[in-house]
Amino acid sequence: MDSQQRDRMLQAMMEELADRGYSEASVERARSVAGVSETDFAAEFADKDECLFAAYDQLTDQVVARASAECDRGEPWPERVRTGLESLLRGMAEQPGMAMALTRAFPGIRPSAYERYVELLSRFVPFMIEGREYSEVDEELPGEVELLAVGAAEAIIFGEVDAGRAERLPKMLPEILFSVLVPFMGPERAAEEMRTASMSI
Amino acid sequence: MPKGWALPAETERGRAVLALVELWAENGYAGLSVTEIAARAGMSRERFEGLFDSVEAAAVTANEAPLAAVVEIVADLYSADRSEAESYAVAVVGILRLMTANPAYCYLTFIGGRQMAPSRVHEVFESGHQFLVAMLERLWAASPLSDQPARVGVAALGAAEAVVRREIVAGRYEALPALAPDLVYGSMVPFLGQAEAMRLAELSRRHLEEDLEA
Amino acid sequence: MTLGVVDTDVDVLSVSDRDRILEAMASCCSQSGYEETTVEAVLSRAGVSPESFEAHFADKEDCALAALNKMVSETLARISMAQPRSAEVSERRKFEVQAILELMAAQPGFARLGFIEARQGGTTRMHDSYESAARVLALMMQRAGHMAEKHGARAALGGAEAVLRRELAAGRAAQLPGLLPDFVYAALVPFVGQREALRQAKEAVKLAAEEG
């Protein structure tokens, strides 16, 4: 299987999961959509699970890449966070089925699948470290502040995807931005950033 | 420390629900079966079926037990002797201790009910969760801002939950109480600002240490 | 610094758009019922824009559920903060019941929404939310009363609920605190028996008279 075929196979398998849930997700149907033979599949993947886990890894790689792609290194950190969030939210709104697969269908399979979801959130932590420079207090901020910020965004995003309202996410950028920035810079500064962001929506 | 658990394993119902919750945390929801749950609980299939109409019905009860315990902790630790914000900071320590003492229920509360459950069970979880968000949003009364950003309560609680989830997925239940200061800071900073949130984080850390010495 | 939970004037607390919307939802529902209430009516009463509503709530049901949660969380905070922590169980029960009744008398709109609309005339999610809350409360009561039996607690609550609904439906929310002995009796009788429950009910009346 060449890399393009592999990508198609993974994409098709994730779509099967998104459309039908784990137990009904069919390798045969996904293979057919991707144009992959049974032999080629068997050579690459031991079973449905191995394919699904690889598909999730591909999807999460894409999510993280998308969020960091459009960030201009020159811009101040809060701007980069905004740009990254904007990109992420647009992606979710454009593909609500994938958003559901990302946040419910795959993590819900079993605890080992759920671990991947937790790892996904941890991948955003490095992007948050610079936020500490914006603190308005002298004392060092608590150790978990980066993951707290990621978790704040996750909670709002998860809530909308879960309720079938992923298409609303781009409009919610200002309030999500507020909650991500607030542990670093406090509510007044975070509210300023929120207001700036709402002017360009 | 709570005086006990809302669904003690000394009762049959408690044992049955605990068995379900343990298996849920070990293998996920889809694999749950009456046979396996009953075996884990040390009772016959018939006995389980006498206690609960279905696995789903038992799962609904399972979601309600931790909520009852958390509400009790709030009722115990909120006090007229301290401000509501300080009571909250102390209650966070209590809740984390509860979670450490009940790891299977902890998994259910932060992960199972949220992302590993069918719709009906998930809705029960969601309704309990929204209540906890409402408790947190009461801190809005002390905010320096003139208007409340949307979903700030959801995000503030979610911030703390993300940290807890990382720990429990790694099996580090005993590490939870020590995270109280981070969780207090993260959930309160949107309402009270950095300085006050830091002060309350420190208060929760002192409460954690004092209690250990006691 | 306290947040003035127990003593602050209700109007002062409702400073945010979100709070205004929730208050308005509760009043509109208590006047016209949940089904007949429109988002337009809520907005008009709250004096907020449709954009503001949409920013905070997905739809009417979402808003009504948030209003219910607000009432319950306020109740829990009040009853927890109003009583001395040293008091023993039946003492605390009396305080709790009194605080709840006073809150409902002060906020009849929310009270109606919670006890009447959520059960009849509300959506399935609202009914489920109500029933779930009642089960959680029953779990807590059963533990506090050292009862392993679930049904006693739920039934005791059912009795109190019926009285509450009758009074709220008749527009007598302001008179609820006067029914303190009835509620204390209902809350305690499954756990301590009739004689003790009656005694506690009388004590509660005396306490209320001393404070008043």
Q: Identify the weakest region by mean pLDDT among A138-142, B126-130, C12-16, C163-167.
A: C12-16
* Range scoring the smallest mean pLDDT among B118-122, C24-28, C141-145, C192-196: C141-145
Find tokens 């429109």 and name the residue: C38
Q: Is residue B48 part of a domain?
A: no
Q: Where are the alpha helices (DSSP H) in chain B?
A: 12-27, 34-41, 45-51, 55-77, 84-101, 103-107, 113-115, 119-137, 152-169, 180-192, 194-213
Average pLDDT score over chain B: 92
CA distance B29 to chain C (A): 21
Triad B112, B114, B117: Cα angle to 5°: 60
Give the range among B26-30, B104-108, C68-72 with minimum mean pLDDT. Answer: C68-72
pLDDT at A163: 94
> Which residue segments constitute the domains of chain A, with CATH numbers given?
3-199 (1.10.357.10)
Band of residue C211 on the pLDDT scale cut at 50, 70, 90? low
Does the CB of B64 have a partner CB in chain C at under 8 Å? Answer: yes
Q: What mean pLDDT is predicted for residues B121-146?
A: 91
- pLDDT tier at B77, thresholds 50, 70, 90: confident
Q: What pLDDT does C85 receive? A: 65
Confidence of residue A28 (pLDDT cuts 50, 70, 90): very high
H or E stretch covering A179: helix A173-199
Distance separating alpha carbons of residues A30 and A12, to the nearest angstrom: 5
Could you tell me if residue B57 is inside a domain? Answer: no
CA B12 to chain centre: 23
Reported as a single tens digit per residue, the pLDDT across B29-52 is 998 999 999 999 999 999 999 999
Structure confidence at residue A98 (pLDDT): 95
Using a 10 angstrom Cβ sphere, with 0-12 exposed, 13-18 middle and 19 or more buried, the burial of residue B175 is middle
Q: Do B148 and C18 touch (CB under 8 A)?
A: yes
> Both tokens of residue B49?
């079926």
Q: What is the distance in angstroms between the Cα of A39 and the nearest Cα belonging to chain B?
A: 30
Which of the two residues, C5 and A81, has the higher pLDDT score? A81
Q: Please indicate whether residue A52 or residue C94 has the higher confidence score (pLDDT).
A: A52
- Predicted local distance difference test score (pLDDT) of residue B5: 62
Cβ distance C70 to B72 less than 8 Å, yes or no, reads no
Give C67-211's CATH code, choosing from 3.30.1370, 1.10.357, 1.10.3470, 1.10.8: 1.10.357
- Quick: pLDDT tens for B104-127: 999 999 999 999 999 999 999 999
Residues of B in contact with C79 (CB under 8 A): 75
pLDDT band at C208 (very low <50, low <70, confident <90, very high): confident
Q: Which residue has the higher pLDDT, A162 or C4?
A: A162
Cβ contacts below 8 Å, chain B against chain C, sum to 114
From chain A residues 137-196, the ones with a CB under 8 A of any chain C CB are 163, 165, 175
pLDDT-based confidence at C87, cuts 50/70/90? low
More confidently predicted of B4 and A157: A157
The total number of structural domains that make up chain B: 1
Q: Where are the domains of chain C?
A: 67-211
Residues of B (144-163) whose Cβ lies below 8 Å from C: 146-148, 150-151
Q: Tell me, what's the ipTM?
A: 0.95
Name the more confident of C207 and C132: C132
Between A150-159, B133-142, B183-192, the lowest mean confidence (pLDDT) is in B133-142
The mean per-residue pLDDT over the stretch C185-192 comes to 77
Write the DSSP string, B150-180.
Answer: TTHHHHHHHHHHHHHHHHHHTT-GGGTGGGH
Separation of alpha carbons C159 and B76, rounded Å:
26
Instruction: Please indicate if any CB of chain C lies within 8 Å of the CB of B119.
Output: no
* Model confidence band, residue C118 (pLDDT cutoffs 50, 70, 90): confident
Determine the Cα–Cα distance for residues C93 and C83; give it in Å rounded to an integer.
10
- Predicted confidence band of residue A176 (pLDDT cuts 50, 70, 90): very high
> Does any domain span residue B2?
no
Nearest to B71 among C69, C70, C140 (CB): C140
**Residue B41 domain-assigned?**
no
Instruction: Pick the residue from chain B with its C-alpha nearest to C53.
Output: B150
Asked if the model's pLDDT at residue B6 lies above 70, the reply is: no
Whole-prediction pTM value?
0.91
Percent of chain B with pLDDT over 70: 95
Q: What is the pLDDT of residue C89?
A: 67
Residue C84 has a pLDDT of: 66
> How far is the alpha carbon of B212 from chain C, nearest alpha carbon, in Å?
21
CA distance B91 to chain C (A): 12
Check residues C8 and B142 and name the one with the higher pLDDT.
B142
**pLDDT at residue C151 greater than cutoff 70:** no
Question: CB neighbours of B202 closer than 8 A, spacing ≥ 6?
Answer: B181
Tell me, what's the pLDDT at C3? 36
| Residue C91 confidence (pLDDT) above 80 | no
Q: Do B157 and A155 touch (CB under 8 A)?
A: yes
- A79-94 residue pLDDT tens: 999 999 999 999 999 9
Model pLDDT, residue B200:
97
Between chain A and chain B, the number of residue pairs with CB atoms below 8 A apart is: 148
Residue B28 has pLDDT above 90, yes or no: yes
Residue B178 tokens, joined: 């020590």
Closest CA to A113 of A159, A54, A63, A47: A54
Average pLDDT, whole number, for chain C? 80
CA distance B189 to A43: 52
B167: contact with C, CB 8 A cutoff:
no
Kindly tell me if the per-residue pLDDT of B167 is higher than 60.
yes
**pLDDT tens-digit map of A108-158:** 999 999 999 999 999 999 999 999 999 999 999 999 999 999 999 999 999
pLDDT of residue C86: 65
Assigned domain for B130 exists? yes
Task: Name the average pLDDT for chain A.
Answer: 95
Q: Which of B109, B107, B115 has the alpha carbon at shortest distance from B132?
A: B109
C-beta contacts of B134-138 below 8 A and 24+ residues apart: B134/C66, B134/C69, B134/C70, B134/C72, B134/C73, B135/B74, B135/B88, B135/C73, B135/C76, B135/C77, B136/B88, B136/B187, B136/B191, B137/C70, B137/C73, B138/B84, B138/C3, B138/C5, B138/C73, B138/C74, B138/C77
C24-50 confidence digits (pLDDT tens): 999 898 888 899 999 999 999 999 999
**Range of the structural domain that residue B75 is part of:** 67-213
Q: What is the DSSP string of C150-185?
A: HHHHHHHHHHHHHHHHHHHHTT-GGGGGGGHHHHHH
Tell me what the mean pLDDT of segment C1-20 comes to: 53
CA distance A13 to A29: 8
